């Protein structure tokens, strides 16, 4: 399992880097956010941008927690939830459909044999529940969508857990963003939204260390 999660370490660094501006240039960031509040873009433009960004999250390193928190601050909890949920769900559906169509090629190109065996063991152990457990974890969220598509999971078993998990995440981050905007704490909220996925990675690694799939018996 450690080998499976090792590729997530670069993403931890990528997610941690944006925290630096909030620490070193907090006043400037706050001034930029103040100017944003004074002349914000139209809500349809913000909503469309949120949907577009999150729809590409399965292929690009888009920090969905940050985008959803900003969506909540600009569109409110309801508007931010709707835009974030649509974007997250479109990205998951797109990645799943492509993985189902080109699964074998993607497996040969993206996955090492050892990682594939470990991932297959996790899928067999947890089934679609893994889609929910890893939905908020960077990289793993996208990887599980692709891997379940590769393994031919039916749409009927894929959509309910993913849509529900996306709804929960979208609501939580959007509500967080709205509250932060209301109490003038958006810079801090954005820093938390960037750091939280890193903590999720650590929590998931600790959890999977306890439920490591049993190794296959070696043949004599």
- If you write DSSP's letter for every residue of 162-176 in order, what string do you get? HHHHHHHHHHHHHHH
Give pLDDT, residue 213: 47
**What pLDDT does residue 147 have?**
81
Residue 133 has what pLDDT? Answer: 80
CA 144: distance to chain centroid? 11
pLDDT given for residue 68 in this prediction:
94
Closest CA to 29 of 14, 19, 16: 19
**Looking at residue 39, what is its pLDDT?**
65
Q: How far apart are CA 145 and CA 103, in angstroms?
A: 11
**Domain boundaries defined on the chain:** 2-208
Tell me the whole-structure pTM to 2 decimals.
0.74
| Grouped pLDDT means (10 residues each) for the chain, 220 residues | 46 49 53 61 88 88 88 94 97 91 68 60 77 81 83 90 95 94 82 77 67 47
For residue 1, the model assigns a pLDDT of 42
Question: How far apart (Å, rounded) are the C-alpha atoms in residues 70 and 10?
Answer: 24
Q: What is the pLDDT of residue 72?
A: 94
Residues 24 and 26: their CA atoms lie apart, in Å, by 6
CA-wise closest residue to 177 among 82, 26, 71: 71
User: For position 135, what pLDDT does the model report?
Assistant: 87
pLDDT of residue 218: 45
Residue 31 confidence (pLDDT): 62
Q: What is the pLDDT of residue 86?
A: 97
pLDDT 10s digits, 19-64: 555 554 455 555 655 665 666 678 899 999 999 999 998 777 788 8
């Amino acid at each position: 399992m450690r080998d499976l999660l090792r590729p997530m370490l670069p993403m931890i660094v990528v997610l941690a880097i944006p925290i630096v501006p909030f620490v070193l240039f907090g006043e400037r960031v706050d001034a930029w956010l103040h100017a944003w509040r004074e002349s914000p873009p139209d809500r349809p433009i913000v909503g469309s941008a949120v949907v577009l960004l999150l729809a590409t999250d399965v292929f690009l390193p888009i920090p969905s927690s940050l985008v959803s928190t900003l969506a909540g601050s600009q569109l409110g909890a309801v508007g931010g939830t709707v835009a974030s949920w649509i974007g997250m769900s479109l990205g998951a559906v797109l990645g799943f459909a492509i993985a189902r169509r080109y699964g074998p090629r993607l497996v040969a190109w993206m996955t090492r044999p050892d990682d594939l065996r470990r991932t297959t063991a996790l899928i067999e152990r947890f089934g679609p529940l893994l889609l929910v457990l890893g939905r908020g974890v960077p990289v793993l969220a996208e990887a599980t969508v692709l891997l379940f598509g590769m393994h031919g999971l039916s749409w009927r078993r894929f959509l309910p857990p993913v849509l529900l998990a996306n709804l929960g995440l979208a609501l939580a981050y959007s509500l967080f963003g709205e509250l932060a905007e209301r109490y003038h704490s958006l810079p801090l909220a954005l820093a938390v939204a960037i750091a939280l996925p890193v903590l999720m990675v650590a929590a998931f690694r600790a959890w999977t260390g306890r439920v490591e799939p049993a190794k296959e018996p070696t043949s004599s």
